[in-house]
Each structure stands twice: as structure tokens, then as C-alpha cells.
Structure 1
Amino acid sequence: MKGALLIAGTTSDAGKSVVVAGLCRMLARRGVKVAPFKAQNMSNNSVVALDGGEIGRAQALQARACGLEPSVRFNPVLLKPGSDRRSQLVVRGKAIDTVGAKDYFRHRTQLRAIVAEELASLRAEFDVVICEGAGSPAEINLRATDLANMGLARAADLPVLLVGDIDRGGVLAHLFGTVAILEPEDQQLISGYIINKFRGDVDLLRPGIDQLTELTGRPTLGVIPFAEDLWIDAEDSLGTIADAPVGRSQPPLGKDWLTVAAIRLPRISNSTDVEALACEPGVSVRWVTDPSRLAGADLVVLPGSKSTVSDLEWLRHTGIAAALQSRAATGGPILGICGGYQMLARTIDDSVESTAGTVDGLGLLDLEIEFANPKILRRSTGHAQGYTAGVASPPYRETVGTRGIPVHGYEIHHGRVRVNGDRPWLILDGTPEGSVRGAIWGTHLHGALESDEFRRAFLRDVAAYAEADFVVADNVSVEQVRVTQLDLLADLMEKYLDLPALERLIDSGASVNLPTLRVSG
């Protein structure tokens, strides 16, 4: 096999990312030298790649599926929304501007050249490149600046498979309508369909699939069933729905559950940080937006934010800020990560992200934060400082802390700690980082909870504060959970896709003289 393919979707969250990851894993298991590529992503879920820049988390997972380290080559353009109208523009892993829709036009020539160069380089190095579209190619109002869908397919002459999510309803209309609304030259590259998240008897769907082929001249290459166990490494905030559980809860090993309330911020970033907790038996993680949900939780997580000052104001407006302060006063455990850590400070001086100047934080840590350029991007390793977990008022009891336990992760933030009057939580690359005050922990380090030994020790301390009969499993590996899900995706591709047709499409490229559909009116 030698070639490239674009996986597009009828909608956001149609399943493009998981199909690409599954195809990459399937091909890699067969010995094919394969790489992922997403020309442009819009997501606040990002990671720091081995080459020092940041890329979308989905592309990092797809790289893992290929057996590769994440690289900025796999996602050369990343947009990180900071508001409804403006996004940070990250090119080849580095933030270069903050843009609105109209500002974006002045970058398009440069970005097209970068995308073309990176894709050509990958195609020269790898046997197969599986590209992922963005949103939907049916957004014809954005066609002039499109870098990731039909703009990419036309420029690189890529065959396109269109994925539709049947769980949303109306999938056949979505597939037909997406093709029909495209201009004829774009339609020529749409080579077939994949239906995702199917439940039930596929024979009941077959007549519709056959009619879709008759109407459009394009085959359906597979119907992928709904997979209950696929949940880790969510692509973006569409998966962080208020009151929705994270993961698939497993029964506790002891008598008690540990309940985790993760605050669903409006501009949440790196929401996947809490997924490691959800891998543990007896840990129930749920996204919340109501202050009443904090009262019964054993742990509250304040996650990252792309707009720290704005989301801090939202906490005050919703009453969650007051609930967090009441919780802290009674010794209830709170964990702040990156932007969430910054919100726990006494003051935040932000002339970069919001340009709000100095604002009051929640005051739960003796911490002063100042935003500055350039953005800090680094992968870090180290260990946890020793600290004592107990309760805020008598009876006080000591438990085993996490002295010397290894931890690793990555940092993506403008905020700098100017004053830290609390005990540092971590030592990263020889430097103190984070804060501990009683049952309040904070760190800029994303992914720390994926360090298995560190996560177990942290949960033991949370259980001690909660006085819960909770037993931490000694055999949970977040990395193994991730690998298992990638293999499940690959198994689904192998079982439910027409692999000979897929291989022919990759080898031969887009079909020619496909029917052109017309939108009447």
C-alpha cells in the first residue's frame, strides 16, 4: 500500500478522530508504515509533542496508534478558542497570533503552504498517511479558507471517505446532503461512506444503504457498531457534558466509592486530565456546573481553562466560587490543574490572555500568578514532594504522603508563579512546582494523574480526608487502558470495513467520473 486518504465527517464529533486512530492502529499492526495528519484542528485539548510544540490531543493518540511519538508535523495548525469570536493560532506548535474569523484570511496563503509542505513530507516518508478533516466539509461558507477538508483534498488529490454518526439520527440524509451541497470538483473526491455508532440489526439499514449508493454512485465501506467501552482521550469539549459521567465506572474494591466532581468550565481545556481517575475501580467522575453538586463529592477538580479570568468570573456568577471557598473552610479536598490552579491564587495579573490586569483569585492558596509571553511549553518529569494528608480540624490523623513518587506530564500555560507561600507539591526537572495547603492541591502539570503510582498515592490521601473505606487498585495502568482502546478500534475496523475496497482506494486514489449531485432550487 502506498498513498493517502482523508476521513471527513458530516458533523463535528461524527467519529473522524476514532476512525483515523482505528485505521492507523490496524495498518500499523499489519506492518504498514503509517502516520496521521490533521492540517488544522480547533480544540483546547492539546499536548506537548516530543519536538517541543503543542498539537491536538487526538493527533497525539493517533500517533500512539501508529507507534510514533507525537510531533507538530501531524497537526501543523491548531486553533484554541478563547472566546466565541477569537482563537489563539498555533502554527507548527507555537502560538503566533490571536485571530477572529476575518483576521484568519490574512494567514491563509502562508498556512496553505505550511500544510502542503508538511503533508508532502509525511507522504514521502511513510507508506500511508491517514488525514482527518475538521468539522464538516458542508460548511460551504468557510470553503474559501478551508485547509482541512475539501481544500486539502483538492490540493493534494486525496480520496475522501465521509463518516456519519447514525446515533444522531438522519445519517443517510446527512451523507447525501453533504455530498450534494459541495461544488462538483469537490464532489469528485468523495469516494464512499462509513456509518458510525450503529445499534441494532444492520439488515434493517441495508435497503437505505443500497438506495444511497443508487442515488450517489458511492458505496458504503462499512457500518461500525456503537462501542460502549470507547471513551478515553476525548477529542474536545463536546464530550464534557454537564452532569455526564466520565468513563465507565467499575465497582469499588472496598466498601465505599470515591466521588469526583469535575467543574465543567465554559472554556475548559485539557478536560482529559480527569480521565485517569475514571480508570480506577470505585472512582465515579462526573462533570458539574451546579454548586450543589460539590457538597457531596469526595474530591472537586478545577481543570484547565483557555480563558482563566473569564472562567473565574463564571465561577463567581454561578455560585461555584462561593461553594469552593466553603468547601475549603471545612477541609474538603480540591485539586486545581493549570488554569484551575491559577484560579485558586490570591491574585492573577493577566495582561496577555484577557488583558484584564490584576484580578482577585479564589484565595485558597497563598499564590500570586502573572501571565507573560512566551507561552510555556514543556514535557516534565520529576517526583512528588512529601506532604501530610489529614483532616482540617480534630480529630487529626496522619497518613502516608507521596514523598519521592515519580510523576510526569506536560505544561501549556502563560501563567507564571510569582509568589508561592505554600509548600510545593512537585519537583519537576529539579525545580519546585505546584502547591499544597491542607486538602488543596494545585499544579500546572497536565497528565500528572496518568502516572500510576502517583495517582494511587493521591487517591489514598483523598480517601483519608473523606474517611472512606476505599481500596486503591494496584494494577491499573492508564497507558494500558489507552492501548486496549486503540486495539478495540483496530478490531472494529478490521471486522466491519470493506478492507479490500479501502486498500484499493488508498493505492489508486480518488475515483473518476463519479456522479455529480444537484441541490434543487
Structure 2
Amino acid sequence: MNRATNDGDAPALLIAGTTSDAGKSVITAGVCRWLARQGVKVAPFKAQNMSLNSVVTPDGAEIGRAQAMQAAACGIEPSAAMNPVLLKPGGNRSSQVVVRGRPIGEADAVSYQDYKERLRGIAVEALAELRSSHDVVICEGAGSPAEINLRAGDIANMGLARAAGLPVLVVGDIDRGGVFAALHGTLALLEPEDQALVAGFLINKFRGAPELLEPGLDMLRGLTGRPVMGVLPWLDGLWLDVEDSLGLGADRGAPRPPVGSQTLRVAVVRLPRISNFTDIDALSVEPGVDVRFVTAPHELADADLVILPGSRATVADLSWLRERGLADVIARRAAQGRPVLGICGGYQMLARAIHDDVESGAGEVAGLGLLPARVVFAADKTLGRPVGAAYGERVSAYEIHHGVISVDHETEAEPFLDGCRLGAVWGTTWHGALENDGFRRAFLADVAGRAGRAFVCAPDTDFAAERAARLDALGDLVEQNVDTDALWRLIETGAPAGLPVVPPAGPRWGA
């Protein structure tokens, strides 16, 4: 399978799911990796993404982190066209609407409907852009295509499939139970014109006996006239670059055995509006580093390092810290010289004062006062891919924030990346810094020394290689468990004609 670049529109496929977190993102990445290894020039696409995990592209656009991961699976740089609409939920039941990588305003569930018609055109144009410059485009749906109350304004699932003529595969998560009902019910709730594009199913996260599953596959095929094109087994360790906080429950397994005699315990505060928690992924692959997400004060007691991660609602999450008693515990730790790291929104919380007329409209708010800094929220969002150094190591990162932080350099604070360090408290707005191997090891060595831990960093942990290996595992998962000949035919020729219509459970179409 080796195709030259298309002169016209390249074929494309939409991978939808019965629910959020059914596995659309990882299966899309796996299909992309499988195709890329065949020499196919492939690109990922998600018309509309709702996620607080985002990244900055080389051209300065903000897109969902999952699409950047899928681009890596394709062996290409991410671009704004891969995720033309990104919704970032905030603390006031509204979301920031990011279009082609730039925020255009805030909207709640009702007012967002006014955007839909314009955004549908933008999404279709972005997909056409990718199809004109690649051999294949693999599209990921959002949530479920059977959200019948939202179908009229849909731009990410069957609305996109109809507009662009895309064949569709529906993924179901068997680990949750009820997968046959979910697959059949999803199809039955679709309009006949939508059903005509659904060509088959994939079952994800299977860890049972295949012979017990087979009768159900046969019955589903008989009931719907569509095949199950693959049963993908449960595979541990696929939690890198998850799309949203649902992925925080993913099984990371026990920490890898330490190089020395002791582990390093890291507690990451699971803020209600936590964002870009993928910053922590690089710590989890370090031997001897035990990473936990926590929400209660007592869970910080034995931590060697506490991390305040990014937040989409800094002021609201700072209030939550105080209400939960976490703020007091973190302040006591700092006074005792026990390590604390704040990243982006977490760094802002560590400052002395926050002035926010943009995100929360709260005006002047007292921060935790652990770093000699002041935050002023700007209307324009800072997006960038900065490069710097710390601990004598080169650091490349990305930044996404409205808060502009000024540091009082008349104090004893020392520079730390773009932020500062005072005692055992560090703050930076840079995301992804811990993915830099040399810097990560030097930082952890400093933390271990301040925490009094006899922790030894592994000398050869390569985070980029770890991510590449996991993407290869996704490619293997597709290659070994999906009917790839049928998958390729579907991509090239589209949904077959004459697929039967599955009647809904009750009166709906035109009733």
C-alpha cells in the first residue's frame, strides 16, 4: 500500500464512538500510525474538540493535545487545520471558543448554537485543506453521533460525515459493559441518511474469551447488516496525551522500580478545571517516580513534591484549594522547605496577587503568596513555543495563558525558565518542560535533595522514544486486530451502497 499524493480530494474516514472515552482518540492514532508505516501521507482531523488539554503548533495555533499526538503518529507536525474548533470549558458554565487556533469569544451551551452554521463551514474547509495535501485523512468524532437532541447543529459527527461524504466506523467500549446495545442503539437512533454512511463497528478494550464474544458479533451483524471490523484487546500503558480528565482514571500501573533504594513521591492536585495535565506524563515514565492525583489535604502528607498544574479557571480553582484546606497545607510545606511546583495556572495561584477582569471577572484576588509575583490577566491569549535553559539544560516548551506574570526581582527569588524559584517553590508558565530529559532529571535531583530522599535518576530515560514506542504499539494494535484490508477498502471507496436501515425503538423519523 503506497500511494502518491492526491491531486484532488484524498479519501477520508470518520471514527465515531458510542460514548466519550470509548477509544476514538487512540484508535484514530493507531490507524494513522498503521497508514504512515505503509508509506501513506496521512493526517488526523477533529472538527470540534472539547478539551482542556491543548498544545501550540509551530505556526502559533492552539489545538487539542490529542490531535497533536495523532499528528506525531502520522510523523508530521500539527497544524490548526487538524482541529479547527476547540472548546475549553471554564468556571462559569461556558467555554472559550477557539477557531483555527485563536480564541474568538466565550459561549454557553445555548449561545454556542449561534456559532454552529459558521463553524460548520470552517470545519468543512479545514478538512478539504487537509484532503488536498495528503493521501488520506482520518477523522475523529466527538462524544457520540447519537446525541439526537444536538443533531441539527452537529459539525463533528454525522453532520460532518454527511457534508463531506465520509464513511463511518463506530467504536464501542466493551469494558464498560453493554457494548452490543450501545452499538445497535447508536445506529438505530440515526436518521436513514446518516445510517447509510455507517459501514461497520470496532469493539475496544476487550479482555475476555474470544469464543464467548463471537455469537454476539454474529448477532450484531445479523441485526444491523454491518460487520465488526475489529476487536481490539485491552492494552495497558496507553494513557499518554489523553484528551480530557476522564483519562485521569486510566491505569498507569505501579511506578517503575527505582534505580536506587528509594522512590520519589509526587502528588498532583486534581483541580476541578485542571488543564494540560499531560505535563505530568514525563514524570510517570521515570523509574522510581510515583505520581498520584489528589484532592484531599491528607494525601499531600508523604509527598516529596506537590504540583499545582494548569487550570482553565485559575481564580475559581484557587478558591477550591482554600475551601478544601489544600492551600493551608501547601503553604505549610513551603514554609518547611518542602518542594512545590506550579505550572501555568498553578504558578499564578502561587503569586501574591491576581488581577482578573478577563477569565473570572473577579478583579483583585489574593494569591497564595508563596512566590514574589503578581498576575494580571490580559484580553489577548499568549501562545508560543519558547526555548530556554535551566540547570544548564536546554528546555523547549509551549505556553498558553491569559495571565501575565511580573516577578519582583528585588527579592531573593531566582529565575526559573520564564518564572522564578524562591526556596523550594518553583513557578513557570511553560508547559511540556518536563518532557526535556536532561532538565527533568536535574530538576528531580534538586527536588530529591531538598526532600531528603535518596532518589537516583535513571540516566537514560528518553521520553520522546517512550511516546514513539506507545504510538507504535497503537499501530500494532490496529494492524493485528482489525481487518485492515476491509479498512483500506472502506477508506478508498466509502461506505458500500445498500446498507440496511435499522428501525428506531420508537416513532421518530417524521413522526
TM-score calculated relative to the size of structure 2: 0.95
User: How many corresponding residue pairs?
Assistant: 496
- Indicate the residue corresponding to 1:458 in structure 2: 443
User: Does the 8 Å contact 2:275/2:311 carry over to 1?
Assistant: yes
| Aligned mates of 2:408, 2:41 — CA distance in 1 | 48
- Indicate the residue corresponding to 1:511 in structure 2: 496
Aligned equivalent of 2:316, options 303, 310, 321: 310
1:143 aligns with 2:159: no
1:499 aligns with 2:499: no
- Indicate the residue corresponding to 2:48 in structure 1: 40
Range that drifts further, 415-424 or 143-152? 415-424
Q: Which amino acid aligns with 1:418?
A: S
User: Does the 8 Å contact 1:366/1:420 carry over to 2?
Assistant: yes
- Indicate the residue corresponding to 1:430 in structure 2: none
- Indicate the residue corresponding to 1:163 in structure 2: 171
- Indicate the residue corresponding to 2:139 in structure 1: 131
Q: Deviations over 1:20-49 (max 9, x none)?
A: 000101100100010000001000100000
Q: Deviations over 1:194-240 (max 9, x none)?
A: 00000022111000011000000000000000001212111111122
- Indicate the residue corresponding to 1:410 in structure 2: 398
| Aligned mates of 2:68, 2:91 — CA distance in 1 | 25
Aligned equivalent of 1:195, options 194, 199, 203: 203
User: Does the 8 Å contact 1:260/1:300 carry over to 2?
Assistant: yes
User: Does the 8 Å contact 1:425/1:443 carry over to 2?
Assistant: no
| Aligned mates of 1:145, 1:456 — CA distance in 2 | 48
Aligned equivalent of 2:415, options 416, 425, 438: 425
1:103 aligns with 2:111: yes
Q: Which amino acid aligns with 2:463?
A: V
- Indicate the residue corresponding to 1:479 in structure 2: 464
Q: Which amino acid aligns with 1:405?
A: E
Aligned equivalent of 1:54, options 50, 54, 62: 62
1:268 aligns with 2:274: yes
Q: Deviations over 1:375-424 (max 9, x none)?
A: 0000010101xxxxxxxxxxxxxxxxx1x211110000000113434534
Q: CA deviation at 1:113?
A: 1.1
- Indicate the residue corresponding to 1:379 in structure 2: 385
Matching of residues 143-292 of structure 1 within 5 Å: 143-241=151-249, 246=252, 248-292=254-298
Check 1:44–1:355 CA distance in 2 against 1; reply closer, same or farther (3 A cut): same
Q: Deviations over 1:316-357 (max 9, x none)?
A: 111101111111111110000000000001100000000000
User: Does the 8 Å contact 2:414/2:422 carry over to 1?
Assistant: no
| Aligned mates of 2:29, 2:415 — CA distance in 1 | 35
- Indicate the residue corresponding to 1:395 in structure 2: none
| Aligned mates of 1:239, 1:262 — CA distance in 2 | 15
Range that drifts further, 38-47 or 195-204? 195-204
Aligned equivalent of 1:11, options 19, 33, 41: 19
Q: Which amino acid aligns with 1:336?
A: G
Secondary structure of the corresponding residue to residue 475 of structure 1: coil
Q: CA deviation at 1:248?
A: 4.9
Identity over the aligned pairs, expressed in percent? 60
| Aligned mates of 1:185, 1:83 — CA distance in 2 | 38
Q: Which amino acid aligns with 2:477?
A: L
- Indicate the residue corresponding to 1:339 in structure 2: 345
Check 1:277–1:419 CA distance in 2 against 1; reply closer, same or farther (3 A cut): same
Secondary structure of the corresponding residue to residue 7 of structure 1: strand
| Aligned mates of 1:372, 1:443 — CA distance in 2 | 17
Q: Which amino acid aligns with 2:432?
A: G
User: Superposition RMSD on alpha carbons, in Å?
Assistant: 1.2
Secondary structure of the corresponding residue to residue 235 of structure 1: coil
| Aligned mates of 2:225, 2:393 — CA distance in 1 | 59
| Aligned mates of 1:83, 1:141 — CA distance in 2 | 24
1:113 aligns with 2:130: no
| Aligned mates of 1:117, 1:420 — CA distance in 2 | 47
| Aligned mates of 2:23, 2:92 — CA distance in 1 | 24
Check 1:410–1:248 CA distance in 2 against 1; reply closer, same or farther (3 A cut): farther
Q: Which amino acid aligns with 2:190?
A: L
| Aligned mates of 1:268, 1:26 — CA distance in 2 | 32
User: Does the 8 Å contact 2:273/2:312 carry over to 1?
Assistant: yes
User: Does the 8 Å contact 1:420/1:435 carry over to 2?
Assistant: no
Secondary structure of the corresponding residue to residue 240 of structure 1: helix
User: Does the 8 Å contact 1:153/1:189 carry over to 2?
Assistant: yes
- Indicate the residue corresponding to 1:320 in structure 2: 326
| Aligned mates of 1:114, 1:458 — CA distance in 2 | 43
| Aligned mates of 2:408, 2:191 — CA distance in 1 | 58
| Aligned mates of 1:247, 1:336 — CA distance in 2 | 25
Query: Where in structure 1 are there 5+ consecutive unaligned residues?
Result: 385-401, 428-432
User: Does the 8 Å contact 2:117/2:153 carry over to 1?
Assistant: no
Query: Where in structure 2 are there 5+ consecutive unaligned residues?
Result: 4-9, 507-511
Q: Which amino acid aligns with 2:484?
A: L
| Aligned mates of 1:351, 1:489 — CA distance in 2 | 44
User: Does the 8 Å contact 1:24/1:36 carry over to 2?
Assistant: yes
| Aligned mates of 1:94, 1:13 — CA distance in 2 | 26
| Aligned mates of 2:226, 2:123 — CA distance in 1 | 28
| Aligned mates of 1:180, 1:517 — CA distance in 2 | 5
Secondary structure of the corresponding residue to residue 261 of structure 1: strand
Check 1:247–1:83 CA distance in 2 against 1; reply closer, same or farther (3 A cut): farther
- Indicate the residue corresponding to 1:82 in structure 2: 90
Q: Which amino acid aligns with 2:387?
A: T
Q: CA deviation at 1:520?
A: 2.9
User: Does the 8 Å contact 1:6/1:158 carry over to 2?
Assistant: yes
| Aligned mates of 2:407, 2:153 — CA distance in 1 | 44
User: Does the 8 Å contact 2:188/2:505 carry over to 1?
Assistant: no
Secondary structure of the corresponding residue to residue 138 of structure 2: strand
| Aligned mates of 1:348, 1:516 — CA distance in 2 | 57
Aligned equivalent of 1:353, options 356, 359, 369: 359
